[in-house]
Structure 1
């Protein structure tokens, strides 16, 4: 599997357009955001667009193309000319796992996009109602194993990363617990507070106030390292549960984007992400900056695709 994902990652960054305009960029660049204006992805995109415009000497226009869980806007870029004037700031949904959730997927991110750079990531958090008499994720899973199908885990919606993370935890631990989808983080939290569901698996930022106040009991965070906002909350990995899961943001272009364009965008965006302003903006949404090479993003896209494909098939999750 490692060799296969490495080959996929290499292929993702090897596609180079046959010609490259030496005066690039000579006109404004469009950064498509496949989500509505005003959200966290849009805010991060506008920060990067401003900094990128200053470095390139050209305006970078943010174009919001919301719809189909990010697929619509990302597809606009997958179909664009690979001339360096159309890129996308998308998330792990369209870039990794949506193709296994939708039967009619308009593009394949591993074949139709050129990875440029990872931007940031937000881990999931796992918390329970205080009346659930467990003090760790391991204890919760032991309880679920002893009472198959009796414990319930709320999530922010069918096919969301919160839902898939809960399914990943269940698959890895070989337990059966009831998954309860909601329309967003807030209704799931309300039912966890009331005890209607025993636990919730949501982006950690949605859970910070409830865990800090003691209204919910935090059991785990699904990042590799502990979440800075909750330093006392152990990771799932620390507790012996092999469940690393984050929703991440990344910038990509159409297939065949010229190597000089990829290299310049990667260099400049990495420089922007290293600034205190960018780190603070991502931290505002509970995200940590990532950065790195195009090859690292290609590897992330390939390995996350492999991971979520297995979980989605095992749990029979579908969105159409």
Structure 2
């Protein structure tokens, strides 16, 4: 029969207490899964791979992308939210999933605030208001004037009901006090094709999807949806220059699972900011039409809180809903 002395008992208690602290100090000591709730190839996936590769270098451990697409990003976000909060599952997500889906979907299966711990914003990608080259509006101000002269006459195409470019159009209608007719398509590619062909005069698209058409002159860009101009198309004004405060950027951010120990969060924040500051990262983000925008966890939390309110009102006024 084994006899435990008081010293042995105290030693076991001390070891048990030290275990979590040692694990946190040693983080990461195995590969980290970075969940991306969209299919491979999109801006979120590519930015996720760029940051995962750099975090692997900075932290000396593999950060591995896992794509889990479906339900507008809800499935991957659900999977991440249900993971163990130990820092070994992270989420790279976009504002469309995190800030719009809670208002758009009857059930998302996750809470964007309670289920995740913010680490840092990674970058922003503007949406661009583009028109057919023969369309008479040469500026955002022209478009607003025309729309006010003929309410409901002019059409804009989108990638489908409830998509970000649909809701950006609804935001412009609301903020500029105009009426445009929404024409939903099955994706941005057919919507752009019909704008290029002149069947519908207007659409909104994220910059990576439309920049080659802008450069080729098959569409004309009237404005970007960010508060400031984008360095990739610096001659295109911000819509906010005509409609003050207009801000409908797509942002990409890194989250951990809620309940992840604070020392691990702190390590991830420091490593992410170091990764984003690497000289080559600006060019890599720019290739995706993105600007690097690091943030503190508190700044990301505040941005999400503000956007949840903005998009809830836009979704409500548009009548968009997905069951």
TM > 0.5: yes
The answer to whether the Cα contact below 8 Å between 2:24 and 2:263 also exists between their aligned partners in 1 is no
Q: 2:84 aligns with which of 81, 91, 105?
A: 81
The answer to whether the Cα contact below 8 Å between 2:151 and 2:180 also exists between their aligned partners in 1 is yes
C-alpha deviation, 1:96, in angstroms: 0.9
Q: 2:100 aligns with which of 85, 97, 100?
A: 97
For 1:81 and 1:124, the matched residues in 2 are separated by: 35
Q: 1:281 aligns with which of 261, 264, 284?
A: 284
Deviations 1:296-315 (A, max 9, x none): 11111111111100000011
Deviations 1:232-260 (A, max 9, x none): 11111111353211111111011122211
**Cα RMSD between the aligned structures?**
1.9
Give the corresponding residue for 1:175: 178
Does the residue aligned with 2:113 lie in a helix, a strand or coil? helix
For 1:18 and 1:295, the matched residues in 2 are separated by: 24
Unmatched 5+ residue regions in structure 1? 1-16
Deviations 1:46-97 (A, max 9, x none): 2222221232222222211111111111111111121111111111122111
For 2:316 and 2:271, the matched residues in 1 are separated by: 38
The answer to whether the Cα contact below 8 Å between 1:101 and 1:318 also exists between their aligned partners in 2 is yes
For 2:322 and 2:201, the matched residues in 1 are separated by: 25
Does the residue aligned with 2:205 lie in a helix, a strand or coil? strand
Question: Which deviates the most, 166-175 or 31-40?
Answer: 31-40
Q: 1:140 aligns with which of 132, 138, 143?
A: 143
The answer to whether the Cα contact below 8 Å between 2:93 and 2:252 also exists between their aligned partners in 1 is yes
Q: 2:215 aligns with which of 208, 212, 217?
A: 212
Q: 1:269 aligns with which of 272, 280, 290?
A: 272
1:232 and 2:206 matched? no
Give the corresponding residue for 2:13: none
TM-score, scaled to structure 2: 0.89
Deviations 1:265-302 (A, max 9, x none): 11111111112322222111111111121111111111
Unmatched 5+ residue regions in structure 2? 1-19
Give matches, 1:1-320, under 5 Å: 21-320=24-323
TM-score, scaled to structure 1: 0.90
Question: Which deviates the most, 113-122 or 32-41?
Answer: 32-41
Query: Are the structure 2 counterparts of residues 80 and 187 from structure 1 closer, same or farther at C-alpha, using a change threshold of 3 Å?
Result: same
The answer to whether the Cα contact below 8 Å between 1:270 and 1:291 also exists between their aligned partners in 2 is yes
Structure exhibiting the larger radius of gyration computed from Cα positions: 2
For 1:47 and 1:64, the matched residues in 2 are separated by: 14
